Structure 1
Amino acid sequence: MQQHSEVELSGLGMAISTVVSVAEILKNNGFAVEKKIMTSTVEIKDDSRGRPVQKAKIEVVLGKTANFDELMAVAQEGRENGNDEE
């Protein structure tokens, strides 16, 4: 997110919960705002069954908050100070 004003997170099947968790962590910590959420199904060929299978898909577009750069600077400062103590 430091390099771009927005990012898109996406996941299929079991990875959907990870995408949602990452998005919520970024939002709750003030780094991102939710711009768009899309859900769909995609058809994937299941090699073990030899036929197509429908999988759930989620796409979440997040944008930087107004204070993103400030929060990142504080986080970087904290990492640097933490490294000095070791």
Structure 2
Amino acid sequence: MDLQRYMQQYNEVELSALGMAISTVVSVAEILKNNGFAVEKKIMTSTVDMKDESRGRPVQKAKIEIVLGKTAKFDELMAAQAEERGNGDVDMQT
């Protein structure tokens, strides 16, 4: 299930990431916000103690959690997106 469909069903989504994956989660959140689908509800940062598998000792990793909610125009944008996909399918078949 993609994020937009998840948001459509549950009205919000929580994205979280550790270490190097943080930039990916932030990018996904920014894309959803910039395209008008989501608004930030909460952002939390922390550090998490983890065991380094290769060295066998504990290390700290940065963690981010981003909670996004649907915008007022979310449903309208989803409908327009579905319509575009529908038209694209028709054009490809003709």
Which residue in the other structure is 2:90 paired with? Answer: 84
1:61 aligned to which of 63, 67, 74: 67
Deviations 1:12-67 (A, max 9, x none): 00110001000000001100000000000001111110011100000000000011
Count of aligned pairs between the two proteins: 86
1:45 aligned to which of 45, 51, 70: 51
User: TM-score with structure 2 length normalisation?
Assistant: 0.89
The list of structure 1 runs, each at least 4 consecutive aligned residues, that deviate by more than 6 angstroms after superposition, is: none
Q: Which amino acid aligns with 2:63?
A: K
Q: Distance in 2 between matches of 1:84 and 1:58?
A: 41
Q: Distance in 2 between matches of 1:7 and 1:31?
A: 12
- SS at structure 2 position matched to 1:2: helix
Q: CA RMSD in A?
A: 0.6
Q: Distance in 2 between matches of 1:82 and 1:25?
A: 22
- Cα displacement (A) at 1:7: 0.6
Q: Which amino acid aligns with 2:90?
A: D
Percent identity for Structure 1 against Structure 2: 80
User: TM-score with structure 1 length normalisation?
Assistant: 0.97
- SS at structure 2 position matched to 1:11: strand
Structure 1 residues not aligned, in runs of 5+: none
Q: Distance in 2 between matches of 1:15 and 1:2?
A: 25
Structure 2 residues not aligned, in runs of 5+: 1-6
- Cα displacement (A) at 1:2: 1.2
Q: Distance in 2 between matches of 1:12 and 1:80?
A: 37
